[in-house]
Amino acid sequence: MSQSTAHARAVSLPLSAIALAALLHVLWGANAVAVKIGLEAVPPLWSGFVRFVIGVICVLAWARLARLPLWPHRNEWRPLLLLSAMFTLQIAVMNWGFGMTSGIMSSILLSTFPLWAVLFGLFLLPGQRLNLQQLLGLMVAFSVPPWCCWAMPISPACRCRTWAT
């Protein structure tokens, strides 16, 4: 047994950490379904806008309570605006896509995020490599979403709206 394997077996997670991780997965899994339900009342771009406004209010309240400064430095504005534009585009396209499919299909497609993160990491981060076991696991993981999508009929009730209702 290698030293890293022995160390990995010696470390255990507290039950509270496991419970919190499980709760996070439940909430993340329910995200696409919640957005889909919200799209019945609010168009996709407004849905994303409202979610981010609520998020900003929460972050500002937390920063104020913790007495943390949040105003960006002068040299941070350009990257911050670029990042904001990218996030806006990502959320707009995601919500628009949710409006064109079922909540279940949205959850399946959204759950492929870690798989894409691995692939982008391999190409964009220096020194990232996959061993054979990891490569096989990635191939199996990527084979499941297409199978689920192929097996699920597309509902004619799915529609898409942008800003207008």
**Does residue 95 belong to any structural domain of this protein?**
yes
* pTM as predicted: 0.56
Domain span at 139: 12-151
- Cβ partners under 8 Å of residue 3, min gap 6: none
**Does residue 7 belong to any structural domain of this protein?**
no
**Rounded mean pLDDT for each run of 10 residues along the chain, 165 residues in total:** 51 87 84 80 81 91 93 93 90 81 75 82 86 85 73 52 42
**Does residue 156 belong to any structural domain of this protein?**
no
What is the structure's pLDDT at 9? 58
H/E element holding 93?
A: helix 77-98
**Does residue 4 belong to any structural domain of this protein?**
no
What is the structure's pLDDT at 99? 77
What is the structure's pLDDT at 151? 64
**Are 120 and 100 spatial neighbours (Cβ–Cβ below 8 Å)?**
no
Fill in the DSSP letter of residue 158.
-
**Does residue 75 belong to any structural domain of this protein?**
yes
**Does residue 164 belong to any structural domain of this protein?**
no
What is the structure's pLDDT at 164? 42
What is the structure's pLDDT at 78? 95
What is the structure's pLDDT at 136? 87
Nearest residue to 162 via CA among 68, 99, 110, 104: 99
- When divided into structural domains, the chain yields a total of 1
What is the structure's pLDDT at 10? 55
